[in-house]
């Protein structure tokens, strides 16, 4: 669109030029630089209104003659935004902004693109230049802190590990709260794959051009049944016509442990155990004290290097624009034995045929990742392992110290040697992913306003690996070690056929843009099941591990029709209306069809009321309403009565024969979509030529027919709980984003931006019939005891609100063991005295980005924070007690340091003492860049950068890390997020 | 070139349109069966029958855990297993068991202070009803008409018809559990289809009548005693359940039926069963060899019938570091008895009465050991080494890791029938006599004292208290104690106090509402037809 306008402009200026190029000319000189200030060679400089043109030299300098009537110059260069500048006396300096910022003008939305200024929905697009910097393996991390309403929480620090992504809180209780991910027009499945740590790590972040975050229903409703939790559209880089351009970037990084979990030292344990032996007269534990002083966390963590190399070429070949990239990432985890490695390649071809009537877009991305998964149980083991013992010992278990029984065998349920867990387990896998799509767009010769578009896409994944445990391992010595092979394949195929119709009727100042699509998508997984083998001899199947079925093939399909109308009146009033009809194989023929409509309107106030204002350059009001759905429930056949075969370890003996079972499964034949209605109102604004720009959005989301697992009457079905449609919840929130450029002159520029989100989620109903005595549904299982839950789904409360006893403290402020407030004043403290207190989800999210550019230097900072979120410190509740040190199984364990505060003998799992404020502000990134400029005889330009990630965290939380990817807010030991130091260089040639 | 491109475009457009087909949305999982395919042949019926029996032994479709029958936020290992749940309800509130763990509300059991929100009770309400739901489905599918329609004939059809009676026995048994624990119960039969409405509740007296009528009705269809394959029930099982039902009839309905109790106990006794040598052997890994004494067992196998809540639990939970003597690789440091159980034995060492199995290499029976100062301290109290995963023949057990037990759980065994007869006599049942009662008791004691008359009782010894004590000695940890103490009016009253009864070290009386368990609150929320028991 922009391109055609540009061409038009050029033609127009040339025509004008013919008439006016006659009077006295003058010489105009100047210099063209890129956004970093480096000289830009080969840029085209045209005197507006004439045919005069020239190109800049290698040092970016130009000289051109202009007639006296000429008022301005037009400067353009491939890959940069064309700019017009007034002719002044003296040298003119022009800084061109990179073409990437074109994308900030036209942004990718559902089933198409739209000019940002014409948007009616709530969409935030982040382009490559604004992505989170540093050493980033998984693509969602690029958006950390960049988008209001978007919360990204990495699961931990594992190499290639994934994140929990939430847009505007979650709309669902039991169904998935993950947003839909669309890669180059192909909605992909984001569930796990055997052998892959995380499916988003299969996309090379270097290949991504932009990511659009679709938040309100008008933006997402075209994705219908999968849109309730928002949509993230990933668009990869494409080629541009012109000479081949190459980019090479390389980065080396070192990850170091940022913070260790605070546990007791060997000396402290020795003191506690000795004192206890004196007090009780029982020397059982004193006798097993060791004499070493081992920091087990030092034993299992390491400094981990990683390297990331990428090369890409783009240009056109035989008239076909292309971009080809290759990437190689090699990353070690800070937990020993953890490794991630990715080879990736991407090819984009965008040829046009038939006088540009037929546009083809081919995008193929292939990656192969290899993983070595560390046994992450080692982290929990390290903080619980007796620090008085040395790492190694003379024994039959690989020489790793283990707590043994009198007979020399390991105590079965004792904590295992953390290093032994890592060294004696070898779990390696590789996963491949091919995402390909071919989009053919045909503009009809006889009716050019009508486009016919076919899009065929495929996402094909395969994962395979071997999880092998050494025969010496204390965990599996009884079976002589364990060899387990695993394998999965997934395929997701998309067929989509669309009609686009665009019409401008100048007579009634109207523009129409209509879309109609028929789409069909098929998802299946081939699950291969294998037995496990001992390492004693070949093919020695471990009893009970033989699978019932060698293969399984879960599958679901969606068939959809969708339509959209964009209507613009007088370039001031915008209307978008859309509807999607989805039919899903997950529901019965009677309930499988759902309709998801949306309407949005926008009013360009600036153009209507402040047309002449120089201060205000944009002001737009947006209003939207829409209904979206949810069907991501794990169970692919919830409506079908079916019988399932039991495993070989679940049989019953009649006579001398064992029979496997056929068990009927609970089902709800009426199960259907969960639907969310979203209302959104927002303003977009910009002042002083967008030196200050931003938006504010207010939303209200109401979900009904929640796909919930709720208690049902015993005897009514084959279970006492059932996945069915019941319940309502709501989310309300405000989002605010602001980008400013406080200072901008030739050599110095300071950008500052931030976003703030306020969100409140509340369950408004959970029952089919009213019951005043309903006590909610227990959720949030914890470690410790069996079946203990710390949270509730309760009407009127946020999901996963904690349900705890109110701790009573002594005068010194220390909690008194087992003493809680009798909340209902009935004279005894029992389960009825637990109360609802705090919740895991934040009230407020904040993202902050700033960058200072001075001459060739740039310095950037990025931070994100979360406020009003609480965590249940399960590590402390489980390990901060004497019982953790004096383990009842007759071995010594370590305790968290808060044991010194509480001196609890036994676990007090439900005390509110363990609910802690986990609000935090994390400085994600400091990055420093230096633009070397042209090197190698001006054949290349070089930029070098250094960054530190995960610089610091400000929080009151006493656990390891206040950021937790667990919806339930139960914080056990996680794989610590490392601090990463990286150095990179970027070469364009 | 242009033409070929046009053709490609046309082809793609055509393809896009052709792929539309609503039928493609009817998908079915590849490894599962529909009800129609499940019951297409006799093997399918047998697999469902195995499930019906198996619900008493394991908790789901994946052993030991992974795809539980019963969800609802309950813990598969500890809350929805039949044997474990039954044990917690029948033994833990009594003098026979205490638990050291901190699992949720587990201490409320021995403290006799549970509430209607108790998850263990919720699991124990759900388990029998789930089993019954399954049985009803089976009965709907196993009618003569359906068998005929599916062309299942001959011996296969005969076996399925017999299995209908077995299924009805199991339904009666599961309802007896509801009757005993909860009194009133959710009531469903094969007339109640899946997912169509809220089940009704049946009152305790009506449920008693229903169980009684069912057990009598199936008598002719069940296999004669001791003629069916091991693990499946025959007529004797139905008689044994009737005997137990009648013994407690006064509690269940207000009307005593001791005569009927003695009559049905007698029918079992005369069906050819005999006590086996060596009391300890009855609870060992190869106790299927004791089938001459067992009337109905729940069969467990360490490799093929794995669960955390069958006899695996009775083995693991009772041991600590001394686990090797229990035939397992690890102890769960959980359950012991109170001193009151040990005190039923004059000689607690097991040297004379071999049923006193309180001695392990680590724990003896000295006075200091038997006292429980701290419930959470596993080392206090008499340890129970009754369920032992070691074979009498010294062979290896089926699970090489020794994590899961092979021990079958005896639901009904001959001793109980002897004791029912003797108690019925003492409760003045018609057609009973002293000589027979004494003979039966002494048979039990003869075996207990190692095939010796050292423990022989005389007519003067035979009192109701003796029977209760003898039941304690013979049947402890087999799931009888709570029912017995209620029948003797001792569970909640001050008539009999044991350590930590009511949560007090010396024991205390509690509200008599604890003679019956509450209907779980969540069930009443989801089914307004359910009334609560008095006091909760």
Give domain A2-98's CATH number out of 3.10.129.10, 3.30.1020.10, 2.60.40.1120, 3.30.365.10: 2.60.40.1120
* Helical spans, DSSP H, in A798-914: 874-879, 882-885, 899-902
B-facing residues of A in 802-831 (CB < 8 A) are 830-831
The number of domains in chain B is: 3
CA atoms lying within 13 Å on the CB side of residue B148: 3
Chain B: residue nearest A411 by CA? B330
Nearest to A121 by CA among A110, A134, A132: A110
B47 and B135 in one domain?
Answer: yes
CB contact under 8 A, B2 and A353: yes
How many whole angstroms separate alpha carbon A685 and alpha carbon A692?
8
What is the CATH number for B259? 1.25.40.10
A924 φψ region: left (φ > 0), alpha (ψ -120 to 50), beta (else): alpha
Over residues B441-458, the pLDDT tens digits come to 999 999 999 999 999 999
Over residues A203-212, the pLDDT tens digits come to 899 999 999 9
Give the H/E segment covering residue A443.
Answer: strand A425-443
A772 close to B (CB below 8 A) = no
User: What local confidence, expressed as pLDDT, does residue A635 receive?
Assistant: 86
* Helical spans, DSSP H, in B19-91: 35-38, 42-54, 76-79, 82-90
B138 close to A (CB below 8 A) = no
pLDDT class of A23 with cuts at 50, 70, 90: very low
Beta pairing partners, B474: none
Angle of CA points A664, A668, A669, to nearest 5°: 100
φ, ψ (nearest 5 deg) of residue A897: -60, -20
B57 and B189 in one domain?
Answer: yes
Give the H/E segment covering residue A740.
Answer: strand A728-744
Q: Which residues contact A392 (CB under 8 A, 6 or more apart)?
A: A399, A400, A401
Q: In chain B, what residues touch A787 (CB-CB under 8 Å)?
A: 74-75, 78-79, 103-104, 119
What range defines the domain where residue B93 resides? 36-222+512-536
Asked whether the bond before B64 is cis by omega within 30 degrees of 0, the reply is: yes
B12 close to A (CB below 8 A) = yes
pLDDT class of A87 with cuts at 50, 70, 90: confident
> Residues of chain B whose pLDDT is less than 50?
1, 18
Angle of CA points A406, A412, A417, to nearest 5°: 90
B-facing residues of A in 716-735 (CB < 8 A) are 716-721
A710 close to B (CB below 8 A) = yes
CB contact under 8 A, B321 and A442: no
Which of A493, A653, A795 would best serve as a mutation to test chain B binding (most B beta carbons within 10 A)? A653
Residue of A407, A644, A719 with shortest CB distance to B61: A644
B325 and B288 in one domain?
Answer: no
pLDDT above 70: percentage of residues in chain A:
96
CB contact under 8 A, A716 and B194: yes
Query: Does the pLDDT value for residue A98 go beyond 70?
Result: no
B23 close to A (CB below 8 A) = no
B314 and B243 in one domain?
Answer: no
Q: In 3-state terms, what secondary structure has residue B184?
A: coil
Q: In chain B, what residues touch A662 (CB-CB under 8 Å)?
A: 33, 38, 44, 47-48, 51
Burial of B458 from C-beta contacts in 10 A (0-12 / 13-18 / 19+): exposed
Over residues A143-202, the pLDDT tens digits come to 988 999 999 998 888 988 888 999 998 888 888 889 999 999 899 877 788 888 888 888
Q: Which of A4-18, A574-588, A841-855, B381-395 has the weakest average pLDDT?
A: A4-18
Chain B: residue nearest A772 by CA? B525
User: What local confidence, expressed as pLDDT, does residue A36 receive?
Assistant: 63
Query: Which of B357, B389, B421 delimits the end of a domain?
Result: B389
| Matching residue, tokens 């969602």 | A140
B216 and B243 in one domain?
Answer: no
Query: Which of B355, B389, B423 delimits the end of a domain?
Result: B389
A3 close to B (CB below 8 A) = no
pLDDT, mean of residues A430-439: 94
Encoded tokens for A924? 């994600």
pLDDT class of A10 with cuts at 50, 70, 90: very low
A294 close to B (CB below 8 A) = no
Nearest to A761 by CA among A705, A726, A809, A801: A801
B74 close to A (CB below 8 A) = yes
CB contact under 8 A, B527 and A716: yes
**Rounded to the nearest 10 degrees, what angle do helices B414-426 and B258-269 cross at?**
150
Gap from B107 CA to chain A (nearest CA, Å): 12
A673 close to B (CB below 8 A) = no
What kind of fold does domain A102-236 have according to CATH? Answer: Ferric Hydroxamate Uptake Protein; Chain A, domain 1 (2.170.130)
pLDDT, mean of residues A226-252: 90
| Matching residue, tokens 């091919």 | A434
pLDDT, mean of residues A32-48: 75
How many whole angstroms separate alpha carbon A858 and alpha carbon A450?
46
Q: In 3-state terms, what secondary structure has residue A631?
A: coil
A911 φψ region: left (φ > 0), alpha (ψ -120 to 50), beta (else): beta
Over residues B216-225, the pLDDT tens digits come to 999 999 999 9
B-facing residues of A in 318-357 (CB < 8 A) are 353-354
A-facing residues of B in 287-306 (CB < 8 A) are 299, 301, 303-306
Give the H/E segment covering residue A609.
Answer: helix A605-609
What kind of fold does domain A250-988 have according to CATH? Answer: Maltoporin; Chain A (2.40.170)
Q: Which residues contact A653 (CB under 8 A, 6 or more apart)?
A: A659, B230, B231, B299, B301, B304, B305
Gap from A486 CA to chain B (nearest CA, Å): 18
A543 φψ region: left (φ > 0), alpha (ψ -120 to 50), beta (else): beta
Encoded tokens for A834? 């637990």
How many whole angstroms separate alpha carbon A183 and alpha carbon A181?
6
Contact A443, A358 (CB under 8 A): yes
Q: Which of A593-602, A776-785, B54-63 has the weakest average pLDDT?
A: A776-785
How many whole angstroms separate alpha carbon A352 and alpha carbon A443?
11
How many whole angstroms separate alpha carbon A747 and alpha carbon A577?
46
B506 close to A (CB below 8 A) = no
A668 close to B (CB below 8 A) = yes
Give the H/E segment covering residue A273.
Answer: helix A266-280
φ, ψ (nearest 5 deg) of residue A840: -80, -25
Chain B: residue nearest A554 by CA? B29
User: What local confidence, expressed as pLDDT, does residue A7 receive?
Assistant: 36
Q: In 3-state terms, what secondary structure has residue B490?
A: coil
Query: Does the pLDDT value for residue A908 go beyond 70?
Result: yes
Residue of A452, A557, A650 with shortest CB distance to B13: A452
CB contact under 8 A, A543 and B13: no
What is the CATH number for B101? 1.25.40.390
φ, ψ (nearest 5 deg) of residue A394: -75, 110
Q: In chain A, what residues touch B54 (CB-CB under 8 Å)?
A: 646, 650-652, 661
Q: In chain B, what residues touch A650 (CB-CB under 8 Å)?
A: 54, 58, 60-63, 305-306
Count of CB pairs separated by less than 8 Å, A with B: 338
B499 located within any domain: no
User: What local confidence, expressed as pLDDT, does residue A11 receive?
Assistant: 35
A972 φψ region: left (φ > 0), alpha (ψ -120 to 50), beta (else): beta
Query: Does the pLDDT value for residue A2 go beyond 50?
Result: no
Three-state secondary structure string covering A341-404: EEEEEEEEECCEECCCCEEEEEEEEEEEEEEEECCCHHHHHHHHECCCCCCECCCCCCCECCCE
Contact A441, A359 (CB under 8 A): yes
B82 close to A (CB below 8 A) = no
Beta pairing partners, A234: A183, A211
Query: Does the pLDDT value for residue A982 go beyond 70?
Result: yes
Contact A954, A963 (CB under 8 A): no
How many whole angstroms separate alpha carbon A594 and alpha carbon A705?
13
φ, ψ (nearest 5 deg) of residue A572: -120, -35
**Rounded to the nearest 10 degrees, what angle do helices B414-426 and B235-247 cross at?**
40
Q: In chain A, what residues touch B186 (CB-CB under 8 Å)?
A: 713-715
Q: In 3-state terms, what secondary structure has residue B456?
A: coil
Q: In 3-state terms, what secondary structure has residue A976?
A: coil
Residue of A478, A520, A712 with shortest CB distance to B20: A520
B12 located within any domain: no
B394 located within any domain: no
B119 and B254 in one domain?
Answer: no
CA atoms lying within 13 Å on the CB side of residue B350: 17
Segments making up each domain of chain A, as ranges: 2-98, 102-236, 250-988
B214 and B127 in one domain?
Answer: yes
Q: In chain A, what residues touch B32 (CB-CB under 8 Å)?
A: 637, 642-645, 665
Could you tell me how far CA B394 lies from the centroid of its own chain?
28
| Matching residue, tokens 């009334």 | B531
Q: Which of A290-304, A497-511, A764-778, B3-17 has the weakest average pLDDT?
A: B3-17
* Average pLDDT, rounded, for chain B: 94
B151 and B116 in one domain?
Answer: yes
How many whole angstroms separate alpha carbon A404 and alpha carbon A395?
9
Q: What pTM does this model have?
A: 0.85
Where does A529-670 show beta strands of DSSP type E?
532-533, 551-552, 555-569, 573-584, 593-604, 616-630, 643-645, 651-654, 657-660, 662-664
Encoded tokens for B272? 């050819």
B208 and B234 in one domain?
Answer: no
Over residues A698-750, the pLDDT tens digits come to 999 999 999 888 889 999 999 999 999 999 999 999 999 999 999 988 889 99
Query: Which of B321, B354, B389 delimits the end of a domain?
Result: B389
Chain B: residue nearest A356 by CA? B2
Q: Which residues contact A375 (CB under 8 A, 6 or more apart)?
A: A337, A421, A422, A425, A427
Over residues A849-885, the pLDDT tens digits come to 999 999 889 999 999 999 999 999 999 999 999 999 9
B413 and B316 in one domain?
Answer: no
Q: Which residues contact A374 (CB under 8 A, 6 or more apart)?
A: A158, A333, A335, A336, A337, A338, A422, A427
B19 located within any domain: no
ipTM, interface predicted TM-score of the complex = 0.94
B294 and B307 in one domain?
Answer: no
Over residues B394-435, the pLDDT tens digits come to 999 999 889 999 999 999 999 999 999 999 999 999 999 999
pLDDT class of A47 with cuts at 50, 70, 90: confident
CB contact under 8 A, A645 and B31: yes
Q: In chain B, what residues touch A358 (CB-CB under 8 Å)?
A: 5, 9
Q: How far is CA A880 from CA A21, A884, A898, A976, B221, in A?
A: 86, 7, 6, 19, 61
pLDDT, mean of residues A11-37: 58
Q: In 3-state terms, what secondary structure has residue B45?
A: helix
A714 close to B (CB below 8 A) = yes
B68 and B149 in one domain?
Answer: yes
**Rounded to the nearest 10 degrees, what angle do helices B414-426 and B434-448 cross at?**
140
B529 located within any domain: yes
Q: Do domains A2-98 and A250-988 have the same CATH topology?
A: no
Q: Do the bridges between strand A482-505 and strand A532-533 make them parallel or antiparallel, or are there none, so unpaired?
A: antiparallel
Nearest to B421 by CA among B399, B400, B436, B406: B436
* Average pLDDT, rounded, for chain A: 89
pLDDT above 90: percentage of residues in chain A:
65
């Amino acid at each position: 669109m922009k391109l055609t306008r540009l061409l038009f402009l050029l033609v127009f200026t040339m025509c004008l030029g013919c008439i006016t190029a006659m009077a006295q000319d003058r010489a105009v000189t100047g210099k063209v630089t890129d956004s970093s200030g480096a000289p830009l060679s080969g840029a085209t400089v045209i005197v507006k209104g004439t045919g005069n043109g020239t190109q800049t030299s290698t040092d970016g300098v130009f000289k051109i003659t202009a007639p006296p009537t000429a008022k301005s110059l037009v400067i353009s260069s491939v890959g940069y935004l064309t700019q017009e500048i007034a002719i002044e006396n003296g040298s003119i300096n022009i800084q061109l902004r990179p073409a990437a910022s074109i994308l900030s003008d036209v942004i990718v939305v559902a089933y198409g693109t739209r000019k940002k200024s014409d948007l009616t929905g709530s969409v935030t697009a982040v382009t490559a230049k604004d992505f989170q910097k540093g050493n980033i393996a998984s693509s969602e991390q690029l958006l950390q802190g960049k988008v209001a309403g978007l919360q990204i929480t990495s699961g931990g620090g594992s190499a290639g590990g994934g994140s929990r992504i939430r847009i505007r809180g979650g709309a669902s209780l039991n169904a998935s709260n993950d947003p839909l991910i669309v890669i180059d027009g192909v909605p992909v499945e984001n569930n796990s794959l055997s052998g892959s740590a995380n499916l988003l790590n299969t996309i090379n972040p270097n290949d991504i051009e932009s990511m659009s975050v679709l938040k309100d229903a008008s933006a997402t409703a075209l994705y219908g049944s999968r849109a309730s939790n928002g949509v993230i559209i990933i668009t990869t880089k494409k080629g541009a016509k012109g000479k081949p351009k190459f980019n090479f970037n390389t980065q080396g990084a070192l990850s170091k442990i940022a913070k260790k979990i605070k546990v007791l030292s060997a000396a402290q344990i020795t003191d506690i155990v000795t004192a206890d032996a004196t007090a009780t007269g029982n020397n059982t534990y004193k006798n097993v004290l060791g004499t070493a002083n081992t920091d087990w966390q030092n034993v299992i963590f390491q400094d981990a290097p990683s390297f990331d190399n990428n090369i890409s070429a783009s240009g056109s070949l035989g008239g076909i624009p292309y971009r080809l990239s290759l990437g190689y990432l090699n990353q070690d985890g800070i937990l020993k034995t953890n490794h991630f490695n990715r080879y990736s390649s991407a090819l984009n071809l965008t040829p046009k045929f038939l006088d540009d009537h037929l546009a083809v877009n081919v995008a193929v991305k292939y990656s192969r990742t290899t993983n070595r998964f560390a046994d992450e149980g080692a982290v929990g083991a390290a903080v619980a392992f007796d620090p008085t013992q040395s790492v190694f010992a003379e024994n039959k278990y690989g020489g790793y110290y283990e707590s043994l029984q009198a007979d020399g065998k390991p105590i079965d349920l004792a904590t295992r040697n953390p290093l032994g867990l890592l060294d004696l387990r070898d779990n390696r896998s590789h996963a491949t992913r091919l995402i390909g799509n071919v989009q053919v767009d045909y503009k009809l010769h006889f009716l050019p306003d009508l486009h016919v578009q076919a899009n065929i896409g495929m996402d094909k994944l395969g994962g395979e690996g071997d999880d092998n445990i050494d025969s010496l391992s204390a965990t599996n010595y009884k079976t002589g070690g364990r060899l387990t092979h695993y394998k999965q394949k997934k395929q997701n195929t998309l067929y989509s056929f669309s009609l686009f119709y665009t019409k401008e009727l100048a007579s009634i100042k109207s523009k129409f843009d209509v879309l109609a699509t028929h789409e069909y998508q098929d998802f299946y997984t081939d699950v291969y099941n294998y037995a496990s083998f001992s390492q004693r001899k070949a093919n020695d199947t471990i009893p009970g591990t033989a699978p019932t079925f060698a293969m399984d093939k879960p599958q679901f399909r969606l068939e959809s029709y969708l339509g959209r109308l964009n209507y613009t009146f007088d370039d001031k009033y915008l209307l978008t209306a859309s509807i999607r009809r989805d039919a899903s194989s997950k529901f019965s023929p009677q309930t499988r069809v759902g309709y998801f409509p949306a309407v949005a309107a926008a009013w360009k106030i600036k153009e209507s009321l402040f047309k002449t204002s120089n201060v205000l350059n944009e002001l737009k009001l947006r209003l939207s309403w829409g209904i979206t759905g949810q069907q991501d429930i794990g169970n692919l056949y919830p409506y079908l009565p079916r019988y399932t075969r039991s495993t070989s370890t679940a049989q019953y003996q009649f006579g001398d024969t064992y029979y496997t079972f056929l068990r009927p499964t609970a089902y709800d034949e009426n199960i259907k979509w969960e639907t969310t209605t979203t209302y959104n109102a927002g303003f977009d604004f910009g002042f002083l030529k967008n030196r200050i720009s931003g938006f504010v959005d207010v939303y209200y989301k109401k979900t009904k027919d929640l796909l919930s697992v709720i208690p049902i009457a015993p005897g009514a079905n084959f279970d006492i709980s059932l996945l069915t449609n019941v319940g309502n919840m709501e989310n309300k929130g405000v989002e605010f984003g602001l980008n400013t450029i406080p200072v901008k002159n030739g050599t110095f520029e300071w950008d500052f931006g931030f976003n703030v989100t306020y969100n409140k989620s509340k369950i408004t109903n959970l029952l089919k019939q009213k019951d005043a005595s309903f006590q909610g549904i227990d959720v949030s299982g914890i470690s410790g005891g069996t079946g203990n839950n710390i949270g509730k789904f309760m009407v009127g409360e946020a999901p996963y609100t904690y349900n705890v006893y109110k701790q009573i403290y002594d005068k010194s402020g220390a909690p008194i063991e087992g003493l809680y407030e009798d909340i209902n004043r009935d004279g005894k403290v029992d389960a009825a005295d637990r109360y609802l207190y705090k919740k895991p989800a934040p009230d407020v999210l904040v993202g902050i980005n700033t960058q200072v550019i001075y001459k060739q230097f740039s310095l950037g900072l990025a931070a994100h924070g979360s406020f009003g979120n609480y965590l249940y410190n399960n590590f402390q509740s489980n390990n901060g007690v004497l019982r953790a040190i004096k383990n009842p199984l007759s071995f010594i364990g370590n305790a968290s340091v808060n044991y010194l505060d509480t001196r609890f003998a036994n676990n007090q799992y439900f005390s509110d003492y363990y609910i802690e404020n986990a609000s935090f502000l994390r400085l994600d990134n400091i990055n420093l860049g230096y633009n070397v400029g042209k090197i190698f005889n001006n054949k290349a330009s070089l930029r070098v950068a250094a960054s530190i990630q995960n610089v610091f965290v400000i929080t009151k939380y006493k656990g390891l890390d206040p950021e937790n990817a667990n919806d339930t807010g139960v914080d056990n030991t996680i794989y610590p997020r490392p601090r990463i130091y990286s150095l990179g260089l970027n070469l364009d040639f | 070139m242009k033409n070929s491109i046009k053709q490609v475009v046309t082809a793609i457009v055509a393809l896009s349109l052709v792929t539309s087909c609503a039928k493609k949305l009817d998908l079915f999982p590849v490894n599962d069966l529909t009800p129609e395919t499940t019951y297409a042949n006799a093997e399918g019926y047998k697999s469902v029958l195995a499930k019906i029996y198996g619900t008493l032994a394991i908790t789901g479709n994946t052993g030991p855990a992974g795809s539980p029958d019963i969800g609802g936020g309950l813990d598969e290992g500890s809350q929805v297993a039949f044997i474990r749940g039954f044990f917690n309800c029948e033994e833990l509130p009594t003098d026979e068991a205490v638990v050291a763990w901190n699992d949720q509300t587990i201490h409320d059991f021995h403290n006799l202070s549970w509430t209607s929100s108790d998850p263990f009770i919720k699991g124990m309400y759900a388990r029998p009803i789930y089993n019954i739901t399954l049985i009803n489905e089976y009965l709907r599918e196993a009618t003569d008409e359906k068998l005929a329609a599916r062309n299942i004939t001959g011996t296969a059809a005969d076996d399925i018809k017999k299995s209908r009676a077995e299924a009805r026995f199991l339904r009666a048994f599961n309802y007896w559990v509801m009757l005993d624990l909860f009194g009133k119960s959710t009531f469903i039969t094969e007339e109640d289809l899946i997912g169509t409405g809220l089940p009704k509740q049946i009152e305790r007296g009506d449920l008693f009548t229903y169980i009684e009528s069912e057990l009598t009705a199936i008598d002719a269809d069940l296999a004669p005693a001791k003629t069916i394959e091991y693990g499946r029930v025959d007529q004797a099982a139905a008689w044994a359940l009737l005997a137990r039902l009648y013994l407690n009839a006064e509690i269940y309905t207000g009307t005593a039926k001791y005569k009927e109790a003695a009559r049905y106990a007698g029918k079992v006794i005369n069906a050819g069963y005999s006590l086996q040598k060596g009391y300890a052997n009855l609870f060992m890994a190869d106790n299927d060899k004791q089938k001459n004494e067992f009337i109905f067992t729940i069969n467990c196998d360490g490799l093929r019938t794995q669960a955390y809540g069958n006899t695996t639990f009775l083995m693991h939970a009772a041991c600590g570091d001394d686990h090797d003597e229990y035939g397992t690789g690890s102890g769960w440091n959980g359950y012991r008895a109170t001193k009151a159980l040990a005190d039923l034995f004059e000689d607690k060492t097991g040297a004379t009465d071999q049923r006193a199995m309180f001695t392990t290499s680590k724990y003896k029976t000295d006075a200091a050991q038997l006292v429980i100062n701290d419930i959470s301290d596993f080392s206090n109290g008499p340890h129970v080494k009754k369920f032992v995963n070691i074979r009498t023949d010294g062979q290896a057990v089926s699970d090489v890791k020794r994590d899961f037990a092979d021990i079958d759980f005896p639901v009904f065994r001959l001793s109980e029938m002897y004791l029912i007869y003797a108690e019925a006599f003492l409760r003045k049942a018609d057609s009973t006599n002293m000589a027979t009662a004494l003979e039966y008791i002494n048979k039990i004691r003869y075996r207990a004292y190692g095939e010796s008359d050292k423990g022989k009782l005389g007519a003067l010894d035979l009192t109701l208290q003796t029977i209760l004590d003898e039941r304690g000695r013979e049947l402890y940890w087999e799931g009888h104690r709570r029912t017995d103490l209620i029948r003797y009016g001792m569970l909640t009253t001050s008539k009999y106090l044991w350590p930590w009864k009511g949560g007090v070290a010396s024991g205390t009386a509690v509200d008599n509402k604890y003679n019956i368990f509450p209907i779980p609150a969540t069930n009443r929320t989801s089914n307004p037809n359910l009334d609560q028991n008095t006091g909760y």
